[in-house]
Structure 1
Amino acid sequence: MKPFPPEKEEDFAPFFPEEVLRRGLAYAREGRVLRVYRLGERLLGEVLGSEGVPYRVEVGPGLSGGCTCPYPGFPCKHAAALLYAYLERGGRDLKEALEALSPEEAKALLLALAALPRVGGLLLEALFPERALEEEVRELKAAFRLGLWPEEALEALLLRLPKVERPEPLLKLLEALLQAPKDPGPYLGPLLARYGELKGPLKPLLALLLRHPLPELVRGFLEMAKARPEEALPLLEGRDPLKEALRRELLFALGREEEALALMKARLEAPEDYLALVDRLLALGREGEALFYAEEALNWFGKDPRLFPLADLLASRRGLPEDLLRRFHLRPNLSDYAALKALLGPRFREERPSLLKAVKDPALLARIHLLEEDWKALDRLLQRAPPEAYPALAEALEERLPGEASRLYLEAARGLIKKGGRARYREAARLLRRARALDGKRVEGFLRDLKALYPRRRALWEELAPLSSS
């Protein structure tokens, strides 16, 4: 773009969407631009919107700027209207005019403007930002009690934060935000950053955190505590779990690993404590120590399923038979079963009953029996298996026993069709496609029987149509 403000329409028109520009021109011709003025290289003003509400608009070089209207993009039609109004009205640069005033003239002008309620309120906020902030905090609390979420007011408060020079008003604003009917998370970051810049006391901040342990509040507190550990660490003494967690994270952030780890080791009371400690030790590159505590946890808590990551760690890093046994008992799988059979040798016969007892999944049990070619055990399993296990069992048997797999797919499909419903018909069609890949003639006979049983089930035959036609 050419130097700003524009001198003719061609200076800005190519940078607007055609419809936005057209509506902006219409607004300008309708007299909706209530005021427009220049401040250096920026144009500012108010434009009356379609709802009868004036929007504040600011446009600068490169069509940068903003508008208080709800339009998601910028520049909007109100910005276009402001530019057209400026071309029509022109006017002196307000910045140059103000800079030309003598101190006495500037003071007299401010006093005159202060008599206007709207301008006087803005001047009051500029001169006493903390007092204005406290007033707005009271208004926020009232709005929150009514379940309202005044987003524009919140954003205006954030813009005013750099002018606040004492931490106390910021703490009041923080207390108010923690009573909001919505998640105040996005507004906490800038507020806590300014509180930290002003070296606000950590004690009241910690008190709020203990009542409202929001992630943003935790992060903000730890950032400040890292800069002032001599103030923070005494506050984090005691047996409160959250205080202990904060103290531990602070010590890690300060590079005091041994103290932090000592705290974690002193609190090893539940599986979660061991999991956190082992993760931390691994992150610090202390693998041997991590494996020691992983084994201790498994010895203490046995087959608690939450400890599978520790059993998996030991099995993958050490690969001892005892490690594989632990992992198998927590989460049985075919590869561990095969590995144990190879590693244990004669001892495997003793362990086998407990291993099989740990397997609750019929499909996995079928794969184990296939691996060992234990046909009697497999036959007993298939006779006892519930119908809902048929699809998984069939998939396990496809390669070695395709005929039996096909039979199970058909039985599972029969049960679904009998229950009825389009979703079940769709699943039955999927199972029949699997069965057809194994024994096409059997599936054709199955479909003929179905046609005789359910000739008028329209939804069924819509789902089975691809099978019937191919």
Structure 2
Amino acid sequence: MAAFPPEREEDFAPYVPEEVLRRGLAYFKEGRVRRLFRVGERLLGEVQGSEPTPYRVEVGPGLVGRCTCPYPSFPCKHAVALLYAHLERKAQDLGALLAALPPEEAKALLLRLAHLPEVALLLAEALVPEEAFLEGVRALRQAFRLGEGEEEARRLLLRLDRAGRKEVEAFLEALPLAPFDPEPYLRAALARYLQLSPRLSFLLALYLRHPSEGVREAFLGAALEEPEQALGLLQGADPSGLKRGLRAELLFRLGRVEEALGALREGLEGVEDYLLLVERLLALGRAGEALKYAEEAREWFGRDPRLLPLLDLLVAHRGSPEDHRARFALKPNLEDYLALKAKLGRAFPEERKALLRQVKDLALLARIYLLEEDWKALDRLLKGAPPEAYPRLAEALEAGLPEEAKKLYLEGARREAEKGTRKAYREAAGLLLRLSRLDPKGAREAAWALARAFPRRKALWEELGPLLSENPHEPAPK
């Protein structure tokens, strides 16, 4: 780019998206630039946007700057409007004017400006930035109590580069109280904090109160610089288990693998503890040891749904009947059913009834009966199935019993259409679209039958649109 501020439109226009450039020019033409001034190579001003309060804009070399508007990228249309305003009426350089003032006049000018509340706040930020930042944090906490505060948090982020360790710690302590997701703000504040001789004890306390990934990584990053101090802090009472997890991870990153595994073994109390240990052992190539702990977890927590990843591991690496039974008990599925049938051989019929009693999913039952050609059981299942199960049953029967699947799709679509809501019409259309895979002509005829049955339901006609062929004798409802 050319020197800044620009002398002509070509100095900045090629670097701005066309739509932003067009809207910024329109804002300038509409006279929305309220104030404009220059300090050295920076242009500053106010541009009237859609809100009552004008947006404050700052643009510098390389089109780097900021605006108080919510637009996520920069430059925004307000910054472009400011640039066009500068081309028309070259902003006077305030920096040069201020530099020319004698010291006493400059001091008198500042004292007069300090009577303006808005200027006084800016002067306070410049003269006592630490106290001004802490005051901003106090205002942030109050905003959080009112269910607000995101705008205050954004303003504090803009001042982070001038904040010290004490101020950033206050900001970090406040952010977990936010009524919105604080993670993006935490990560930005933590990046600044790590530049300021961070205190490990503070980061650990913050993590124990707010165990987010960002805080965890910040602690571990700082801990690598002072590992022994960090390991000392991670000793002692640990009711939540968070310190133990941090200690193990830090030891892994330090290359002290056996110590890290020992820390994980010490804390084997819940399913998550076993999961973490097994994952680590697998990553280290110690599959035999991982399987041993996975089996131990199965014995301790066999009915806990969180155990599924470990059961998947046991099935994949060993696949004993006990492994398949345990996984089927938590999540009945066709794979385990067929595996047990193959592995148990003649003993399977004795177990079949017990397995089927565990299956609550009618579609899965239908698949099992279909594979085993148990037509009587399948007939009983279909006769007793509730209407809400028709779609999934139809899908299960598509390959083996397409005619039965068609009937279920048709009946399901009819019942949905009778409900009389937009959502139900959409469901009906979806069922008929699935039917069209099996019988395109039948699906189209069924769609027309529904449309004729409810000629005044415009929403139904709209949802069925893709299935309704051209028919001059059947116009859509007005």
Q: TM-score, normalised by structure 1?
A: 0.75
Whole-Å separation in 1 of the counterparts to 2:265 and 2:83: 62
Counterpart of 2:172 in structure 1 is: 174
Structure 1 residues 172, 459: CA separation in 2 closer, same or farther (over 3 Å shift)?
closer
1:104-158, Cα deviation, whole Å (9 max, x unpaired):
x98667645553444787666445433443444444445555555273x645544
Structure 1 residues 120, 108: CA separation in 2 closer, same or farther (over 3 Å shift)?
farther
Determine if the alignment matches structure 1 residue 83 to structure 2 residue 81.
no
Structure 1 residues 150, 444: CA separation in 2 closer, same or farther (over 3 Å shift)?
closer
Counterpart of 1:220 in structure 2 is: 218
Counterpart of 1:239 in structure 2 is: 238
Counterpart of 2:372 in structure 1 is: 372
3-state SS of paired residue (2:89) = helix
What amino acid is aligned across from residue 328 of structure 2 in structure 1?
Answer: F
| Alpha-carbon contact 2:43-2:58 (below 8 Å) kept | yes
Structure 1 residues 106, 188: CA separation in 2 closer, same or farther (over 3 Å shift)?
farther
Counterpart of 1:115 in structure 2 is: 111
1:261-290, Cα deviation, whole Å (9 max, x unpaired):
323323333333322332333233332222
Structure 1 residues 134, 442: CA separation in 2 closer, same or farther (over 3 Å shift)?
closer
| Alpha-carbon contact 1:25-1:84 (below 8 Å) kept | no
Shift of 1:312: 1.7
What amino acid is aligned across from residue 88 of structure 2 in structure 1?
Answer: Y
Whole-Å separation in 1 of the counterparts to 2:180 and 2:272: 31
| Alpha-carbon contact 1:33-1:82 (below 8 Å) kept | no
* Pick aligned residue for 2:201 from 198, 203, 207: 203
| Alpha-carbon contact 1:13-1:21 (below 8 Å) kept | no
Structure 1 gaps of 5+ residues are none
Shift of 1:77: 1.4
Determine if the alignment matches structure 1 residue 268 to structure 2 residue 268.
yes
Whole-Å separation in 1 of the counterparts to 2:53 and 2:214: 36
3-state SS of paired residue (1:197) = coil
Structure 1 residues 227, 394: CA separation in 2 closer, same or farther (over 3 Å shift)?
same
Counterpart of 1:289 in structure 2 is: 289
3-state SS of paired residue (1:76) = helix
Structure 1 residues 45, 369: CA separation in 2 closer, same or farther (over 3 Å shift)?
closer
Paired residue total: 452
Whole-Å separation in 1 of the counterparts to 2:406 and 2:56: 72
| Alpha-carbon contact 2:244-2:267 (below 8 Å) kept | no
Q: TM-score, normalised by structure 2?
A: 0.74
Whole-Å separation in 1 of the counterparts to 2:374 and 2:176: 64
Structure 1 residues 136, 116: CA separation in 2 closer, same or farther (over 3 Å shift)?
farther
Counterpart of 2:189 in structure 1 is: 191
What amino acid is aligned across from residue 94 of structure 1 in structure 2?
Answer: A
Counterpart of 2:300 in structure 1 is: 300
| Alpha-carbon contact 1:403-1:439 (below 8 Å) kept | no
| Alpha-carbon contact 2:42-2:61 (below 8 Å) kept | no
Q: Which has the larger radius of gyration?
A: 1
3-state SS of paired residue (1:213) = coil
Counterpart of 1:94 in structure 2 is: 96
Whole-Å separation in 2 of the counterparts to 1:273 and 1:346: 39
| Alpha-carbon contact 2:264-2:277 (below 8 Å) kept | yes
Whole-Å separation in 1 of the counterparts to 2:255 and 2:302: 34
| Alpha-carbon contact 1:144-1:181 (below 8 Å) kept | yes
What amino acid is aligned across from residue 216 of structure 1 in structure 2?
Answer: G
Whole-Å separation in 2 of the counterparts to 1:55 and 1:363: 58
Whole-Å separation in 2 of the counterparts to 1:431 and 1:12: 55
Shift of 1:298: 1.5
Whole-Å separation in 2 of the counterparts to 1:366 and 1:117: 81
What amino acid is aligned across from residue 77 of structure 1 in structure 2?
Answer: A
Structure 2 gaps of 5+ residues are 472-478
What amino acid is aligned across from residue 368 of structure 1 in structure 2?
Answer: I
Shift of 1:313: 1.5
Counterpart of 1:278 in structure 2 is: 278
Whole-Å separation in 1 of the counterparts to 2:204 and 2:306: 32
What amino acid is aligned across from residue 370 of structure 1 in structure 2?
Answer: L
Determine if the alignment matches structure 1 residue 346 to structure 2 residue 346.
yes
Shift of 1:340: 3.3
Shift of 1:207: 3.3
| Alpha-carbon contact 2:44-2:59 (below 8 Å) kept | no
Shift of 1:203: 2.8
Q: What are the equivalent positions in structure 2 for 1:97-176 lying under 5 Å apart? A: 98=99, 111-112=107-108, 114-118=110-114, 125-126=125-126, 128-145=128-145, 148-149=148-149, 151=151, 154-155=153-154, 157-165=156-164, 167-176=165-174
Whole-Å separation in 1 of the counterparts to 2:159 and 2:30: 35
| Alpha-carbon contact 1:391-1:408 (below 8 Å) kept | yes
1:228-262, Cα deviation, whole Å (9 max, x unpaired):
23322232221321333333333333333333332
- Please tell me the root mean square deviation across aligned C-alpha atoms, in Å: 4.6
| Alpha-carbon contact 1:202-1:221 (below 8 Å) kept | yes
Whole-Å separation in 2 of the counterparts to 1:414 and 1:350: 41
Whole-Å separation in 2 of the counterparts to 1:370 and 1:256: 55
Shift of 1:19: 5.8
* Pick aligned residue for 1:24 from 28, 31, 38: 28
